[in-house]
Structure 1
Amino acid sequence: MSRRGLMEQDLSKLDVTQLHPLSPEVISRQATINIGTIGHVAHGKSTVVKAISGVQLFSTIYVYRFVYVAKCMAYGIGKEDSPLCDVPGFENCRMKLLRHVSFVNCPGHDILMATMLNGAAIMDGALLLIAANESCPQPQTSEHLAAVEIMRLQHIIILQNKIDLIQESAAMNQHEAIQKFIQGTIAQGAPVVPISAQLKYNIDVICEYIVKKIPIPERNFTSPPNMIVIRSFDVNKPGSEVNDIKGGVAGGSILKGVLRVNQKIEVRPGIVMKEESGRIKCTPIYTRIVSLYAEQNELQFAIPGGLIGVGTTMDPTLTRADRLVGQATGREAVRTSGTERASRVSKLAKGEILMLNIGSMSTGAKVVAVKNDLAKPALTAPVCTNKLEKLALSRRIEKHWRLIGWGTIQAGITLDVPPCPL
């Protein structure tokens, strides 16, 4: 796993009680913080990520890291920890790695709101893009801000993009509109940075604000590991020989604990089947970690935060085309489905069909009972979650799922699973 300019990881010397998100052997190889880019369609989310990282994104996820020396600079994951500075006048200075960041680039189209909510489940902070040449707020500007408020996201930086397309007076007027829009929301008091992502104006300021305004959350390294899956795929090419086939890959963010190469893990709820009696049966998938990657960086162990690719011994058909999205991996998981307490939801009706976002899982639900502020849904698929965890509720409006509020899981039915054979 040797790679020039990066710190080495040695499992034989690993002491999880001494780990920290800024430990050199950690920050050198993996991201330790997830930052979302949110906002209305075509407001510049992918463009601002490209301006910072040099990589063109669509509605996907990319890992990059950046530093701050004399002037805030960003550089991609392909460089060593301390490259020479590119700022004029500082060419002979070495930059210092201060953050290693994963971007969660959320789609702005209203029809992809469920995808955005799944990404919000792992965000530690967010960049809210608002186009300066359009009125504020646009529909998904409001909806995305409501979504991160549901997820209790505290650290938000507002980017007033496309500032090069309007006059200064118009920019000032929109700045006032932005301040009025965020009044009373979780974004109240957030910095508003005027930028041009296309011309890379104030990109250095964004980097500086990320370092100063979005702290790395406290992480739990000693608990049994638990990872939320937001992507899964089959890396084998068509026509691969049987002996060359690789196991399935799950991508996501570790919530707690530390994953290690050769560690045995389970994926829940796993394979879900309905028996002839109508009873749902869940069979966890038991597998072994054969590789850990943060983009091109190979890892021996991975900690909470950032986005990790986990290579396993699973049948790749189980991971193909994001089939594992919404699952939980690790040594423990709670399966709950049933009652949640609804807040700010008006007139939920018995028999109504909703879409629930619980962690990275999107699932349909039929409301079977409503009493005061309690609603009891029957889920179309079981989920791994915990009591008191928040979830987002969406309602079908004009053929699209629209966010209408949030709820808190109060109780549910725990499904029996076969004993672990590991």
Structure 2
Amino acid sequence: MKIPKQPEVNIGTAGHVDHGKCLTLDESAYIGDTFYTGREILKEIIGYDFKKAYNEKLFELPVSSVSLFGKDLRKSRGFVYLQKYRGKIISIETETGRSISVTPVHKLLVKDHWKKAQTIKPDESILIYEGKKLILDKVVKNITKNYEGYLFDLSVPFFHNFISSHGIISHNTTLVEAITGKWTSMHSEELKRGITIKIGYADAAIYECPELPEPEKFNTDGNCLKGEAKLRRVVSFIDSPGHESLMSVMLSGAALMDGSLLVIAANEPVPQPQTREHLQALKMIGIKNIVVVQNKVDLVTYNQALNNYNKIVEFLSSFGYNQVPIIPVSAQKKLNIDALLQAIEEYIPTPSRDPNAPPLMQVLRSFDINKPGTKISDLKGGVLGGSLKQGKLRVGDKIEIKPGIPVKGTYQPIVTEVVSLSTSSGLVDEVLPGGLIAIGTKLDPIFTKNDVMVGNYVAKVGFLPDPVNEIVIKYELFEYVIGLKEMVRYEKLRPGENLRLNIGTMTNLGVVEEVTKDIMRIKLKKPAVALRGDRVALSRMVSDRWRLAGSGIII
């Protein structure tokens, strides 16, 4: 359904991704009526040799259907998610001589229920594919090994088409699709070529049917049994990736959030380390208005859901979130979405913004919208995606982009013209603060493709301060590392330590130059626009991985 007007509020999604349940490249997946190994999928179906694929890559799989147990499930695009992995794997050998190598938490079908690979014992039987039928094969050995290399996941929306696999489609992406009708992981043509997973986005109009009781009166299609639907508002969903190695991308999206949906699965222990890290991030950047979505309630019993609910309440209270609605839903079956819409309306208000202030926007995405082979005379300029924090923009306005583009070891601000403005409702002549927008410019699209402009500020010419190479912040650090199962205390910050910084939508690196109890001066790897009062997220290196460590305010 067409969105009737510009969105007015940005709602993020955060939460644990059911991830890590992956297969090695030697394992097989059943597609259509054929079995493919991971290498065959990447090399023959997609056209990429796995050796040329980089870490954290997503590839479109051009198949018309995906089958499980010989039954066609869904005609849809499929996706292969490829990642590097270093850790334990479980090698299961069966009576027929089959060897299955998976991560310890990967689930296999044991007769009529799912079991994690690490819990499967010899003499148990698992379902495997032989010839053109499925059979039960007895486990002979279950060996834990160290593994370093590539893993892959193969998925389609709503279904996981590995035999005995749960896949990696994130809870929150499915949820946004249930609300908006848009699959946010299919965010651009870049997806077809394989890219690092980035921010997804979708808009939804929330309507009310006055004749119906709550929560049934709320929907997103505008259809009522009697009379006309009343438009409540249009909201933008910023669907940040949930995988732990993509925390920096989540923080970039969080910079524009006015509220958030925290998605927690009813069939998983609470809290997952990643969920704890996401909630800490939301609290750290000042997101007070959240709604918790207890997803996958269709997969558990009433008592299991209630126990999970109580754990969620306890978890939220430990972070100071005591009056947060918890809405049980099934995103895949679209159950209770009306109650979720009501909670969004009641608990995530549209913030007050000043449309008369000078326009100011942070760039969250940037694109080249031209298709390969487009004639030079038909080329369109680069596109900037983001959200206005204040002010208005009109077609024809001159804008300045800072810090700009790298030129000979420094960054050069850019001045260009707004040639088009668009929201989910279509092309418009003017945009206001709130909601996600796209600005068409006269920029050479080489400067905007592949999100090159992410992290820049956009404003009227002369409004933005010059980019700086160092910042001074008043900071607070966490005592313990967030996101680990065990309690690990952070060491004291020292001059010379490397940090990862999220300044608005920009991800930057820096080195601590001076540090006191609560004030720190940081030298930046690349220039940044530093507005006084802006919040900075700080991450420190722990066990070869960046971990959220605290935050600061630019002074």
**TM-score of the pair, normalised by structure 2:** 0.64
What are the residue-to-residue correspondences of 1:108-257 with 2, within 5 Å?
108-257=242-391
What are the residue-to-residue correspondences of 1:34-113 with 2, within 5 Å?
34-42=10-18, 44-58=171-185, 60-69=200-209, 70=212, 71-75=216-220, 83-85=222-224, 90=225, 92-113=226-247
Report the 3-state secondary structure (helix = DSSP H, G, I; strand = E; otherwise coil) of the residue aligned with 2:298: helix
Report the 3-state secondary structure (helix = DSSP H, G, I; strand = E; otherwise coil) of the residue aligned with 1:159: strand
Residue 186 (structure 1) shift: 4.8
Q: Number of matched residues?
A: 370
**Residues of 1 paired with 2:227 and 2:171: CA distance?**
32
Q: Please tell me the residue identity of whatever aligns with 1:206.
A: L
Residue 361 (structure 1) shift: 0.2
Residue 228 (structure 1) shift: 0.6
The answer on whether the counterparts of 2:4 and 2:205 sit within 8 Å (CA) in structure 1 is no
**Residues of 1 paired with 2:322 and 2:518: CA distance?**
28
Stretches of structure 1 lacking an aligned partner (at least 5 in a row): 7-26, 77-82, 276-280, 411-422
Residue 224 (structure 1) shift: 0.9
Task: Specify which of 359, 370, 379 is matched with residue 515 of structure 2.
Answer: 370
Q: Percent identity?
A: 40
1:409 corresponding residue in structure 2? 554
**Residues of 1 paired with 2:317 and 2:220: CA distance?**
35
Aligned-pair Cα RMSD in Å: 1.8
The answer on whether the counterparts of 2:6 and 2:425 sit within 8 Å (CA) in structure 1 is no
**Residues of 2 paired with 1:173 and 1:235: CA distance?**
48
**Residues of 2 paired with 1:406 and 1:96: CA distance?**
41
Q: Greater relative contact order (Cα 8 A, min sep 6): structure 1 or 2?
A: 1
Report the 3-state secondary structure (helix = DSSP H, G, I; strand = E; otherwise coil) of the residue aligned with 2:405: strand
Residue 174 (structure 1) shift: 1.6
1:301-337: CA deviation from partner (whole Å, max 9, x where unpaired)? 0011100000001111111110110000012223343
1:152-189: CA deviation from partner (whole Å, max 9, x where unpaired)? 11110011111111121222222111111111425321
**Residues of 1 paired with 2:389 and 2:182: CA distance?**
27
2:443 corresponding residue in structure 1? 314
Report the 3-state secondary structure (helix = DSSP H, G, I; strand = E; otherwise coil) of the residue aligned with 1:377: strand
Q: Which one has the largest radius of gyration?
A: 2
1:211-243: CA deviation from partner (whole Å, max 9, x where unpaired)? 121111001111110011000011112222221
Say whether 1:355 aligns with 2:500: yes
Q: Please tell me the residue identity of whatever aligns with 1:409.
A: I
The answer on whether the counterparts of 1:72 and 1:207 sit within 8 Å (CA) in structure 2 is no
**Residues of 2 paired with 1:148 and 1:198: CA distance?**
25
Stretches of structure 2 lacking an aligned partner (at least 5 in a row): 19-169, 186-198, 479-489
2:464 corresponding residue in structure 1? 333
1:35-60: CA deviation from partner (whole Å, max 9, x where unpaired)? 11110013610111111122222251
Report the 3-state secondary structure (helix = DSSP H, G, I; strand = E; otherwise coil) of the residue aligned with 2:277: helix
Report the 3-state secondary structure (helix = DSSP H, G, I; strand = E; otherwise coil) of the residue aligned with 2:528: coil
**Residues of 1 paired with 2:362 and 2:530: CA distance?**
10
The answer on whether the counterparts of 1:253 and 1:305 sit within 8 Å (CA) in structure 2 is yes
The structure in which a higher percent of residues are strand is 2
Task: Specify which of 457, 473, 477 is matched with residue 344 of structure 1.
Answer: 477
The answer on whether the counterparts of 1:45 and 1:105 sit within 8 Å (CA) in structure 2 is yes
